[in-house]
Amino acid sequence: MRIGIPAETRPGETRVAATPETVKKLAGKHQLIVQAGAGMAASIPDDAYVAAGATVGSAADAYGAEIVLKVRAPDQGERALMKPGAVLIGMLNPFDAQNIAVMASAGLSAFALEAVPRITRAQSMDVLSSQANIAGYKAVMVAANTYQRFMPMLMTAAGTVKAARVLIMGVGVAGLQAIATAKRLGAVIEASDVRPPVKEQVESLGAKFIDVPFLTDEEKEIAQGVGGYARPMPADWMRRQAELVHERAKLADIVITTALIPGRKAPVLIAEETVQAMKPGSVIVDLAVEQGGNCPLSELGKTVVKHGVHIVGEPNLACHVAADASALYARNVLDFLKLIIDKEDKLTIDQGDEIIKATLVAHGGDILRK
């Protein structure tokens, strides 16, 4: 089969959907066509793909393949290069009904990898986890870079420097990695989440959990989330959380927010009054900025100073770790490919498979998910 790896063209996108490592694993049985320069932003020269067994070609060559591997959904012009019946695999945004409709009408079989279910068998294909892990790490790096003081406690001949106090809001994959990274840098960490099992994970990393007690059975039930994801909490719980967070944020030097609710606007966790109460020179990194932000003062793609607080609204931090982000993403994609390529190396889309069913958003002209 012909498998194409086009270059990503979305502004700021540095990743690539296949690396020489994954190309090498496929090249014996399939024809791999990499668009010239596709790996450049992730420091992968064309020569490395050729050495792994791929050929290098134009965008039309890569998009003309039977299976196209992407990071982001192709734009209209790129989609027009694809053949009806071709398979498209990438982070296609399963909540973007319009784009899915367009892919369906183009006759593509499109797989949105963000929709991989949270089951053990799918862990190696979980692109949200592999990229969130990187974003959590990089958020701490960006915060440390913006912060005008040390992270660790230091005792020097010129006096003692206090350790930075870091507050992490939302402890999923990104939040846990942010805790671990800030811990390695010597910070003192507190964290908050709605899901009760998180408390133990936070404490096992040496951070303190900010407990917002549940006062009703309804609150307790909603906090369990669904399929590993959080659900929007009742307004009363959110108010109590905001009060506690306000007090903790006043003491914090760095706040990293990661709270997301799939398919919805991100919850507001750091209100303007809280930013106003924070110390001058403190830093907020809002990882939810693309979903509207956990802080209403964050601005997409910018670092702004509001009430003396530096607020970083950089989207897609994984793109700033392009080489490893691509390496992990490409392995996720390779594992996913094994689901749709059978033992005879033929394309087989088994809609009875739980992972295929969850990720297949367009097939045979039909929209399979809205």
- Residues recognised as catalytic: 118, 123, 126, 129, 229
Applying CB under 6 A, does 328 fall inside the site for ligand NAD? no
Residue of 33, 112, 144, 260 that binds ligand NAD (CB under 6 A) = 260
The mark string for 266-285 relative to ligand NAD (x by CB under 6 A, - otherwise) is -x-x----------------
**Residue from 173, 222, 285, 355 binding ligand NAD (CB under 6 A):** 173
Edge to edge, the sheet with strand 67-72 lists 55-57, 31-35, 2-5, 67-72, 87-91, 109-112, 360-363, 366-367
Strand blocks (E) in the chain: 2-5, 31-35, 55-57, 67-72, 87-91, 109-112, 154-156, 159-161, 165-169, 188-192, 208-209, 254-257, 283-286, 303-306, 309-312, 360-363, 366-367
Phi, then psi, of 31 in degrees rounded to 5: -95, 115
Smallest separation, CB 132 to ligand NAD (Å): 5
Binding mask 103-142 for ligand NAD (x = CB under 6 A): ---------------x----x--x-xx--x----------
| Residue 138: HSE in the Cβ half-sphere, 13 Å Cα cutoff | 21
User: Which residue type occupies 164?
Assistant: A
Minimum distance of ligand NAD from residue 345's CB (angstroms): 28
Q: How many CB atoms lie within 10 A of CB 120?
A: 6
Cβ proximity to ligand NAD: between 178 and 368 the closer is 178
The span from the CA of 136 to the CA of 256, in Å, is: 9
DSSP lists the bridge partners of residue 209 as 191
143 binds ligand NAD (CB under 6 A): no
Count the residues of the shown chain that bind ligand NAD, applying the rule CB under 6 A: 27
94 binding ligand NAD? (CB under 6 A): no
Pick the piece of the chain touching ligand NAD (CB under 6 A) from 140-148, 167-175, 333-341, 357-365: 167-175
Strand partners for 112 = 90
Please give the residue ranges that form the binding site for ligand NAD (CB under 6 A): 118, 123, 126, 128-129, 132, 169-175, 192-195, 228-230, 233, 258-261, 267, 269
